[in-house]
Amino acid sequence: MIPEISAAIRSISGALDLSKRLVEVTQKGENVEVVNMAIDIKVELAEAKSILANLTIENAELKLENFELRQKLQELENQQSETLIFKDGLYYTESEDVPFCVGCYDNNKKVIRVNPMSPMMAQIGKYECPVCKTVYQ
């Protein structure tokens, strides 16, 4: 919660308590105009408190939405910076000659480097994806 809103809610709650007491005290004096003014103050403060509570909720929702949009933007920026080129059954970036897994990118848009197979496993394939375990020739 924004500190200023918290402080405003505390102030209004305090004023609301005072206005309730003011209503009680003025009712004993039987001055109708003063009693009505005290009641009006109490109503206005209760409404202000309600508005602030709604703003607090709206603020929290906007913060969450902002966070989610920033994450999506970051994902899009990451994808755009990784323009992949399909070559010899694997994906490569323009700048690097390191291959990436085709299955992981096509299925989940994840850019996963494939690892070279050990010399003992070279008969099976040249690269293996550490995530989906696909072997590439």
Footprint of Zn ion on 113-132 (CB under 5 A) = 129, 131-132
CB 83 within 8 A of CB 93: yes
Q: How far is the CB of 108 from Zn ion (least distance, A)?
A: 9
- Phi, psi dihedrals of residue 6, rounded to the nearest 5°: -60, -45
The rounded distance, in Å, linking the Cα atoms of 137 and 127 is 7
Q: How far is the CB of 87 from Zn ion (least distance, A)?
A: 17
- Segment near Zn ion (CB under 5 A); pick from 42-50, 69-77, 89-97, 103-111: 103-111
* Smaller CB separation from Zn ion, 38 or 101: 101
The rounded distance, in Å, linking the Cα atoms of 75 and 103 is 19
Confirm or reject binding of residue 104 to Zn ion (CB under 5 A): yes
The rounded distance, in Å, linking the Cα atoms of 14 and 12 is 5
Among 44, 103, 111, 126, binds Zn ion (CB under 5 A): 103
- Segment near Zn ion (CB under 5 A); pick from 21-29, 44-52, 81-89, 95-103: 95-103
41, with CB counted inside 10 A (0-12, 13-18, 19+), is middle
Binding footprint of Zn ion on the chain (CB under 5 A): 101, 103-104, 129, 131-132
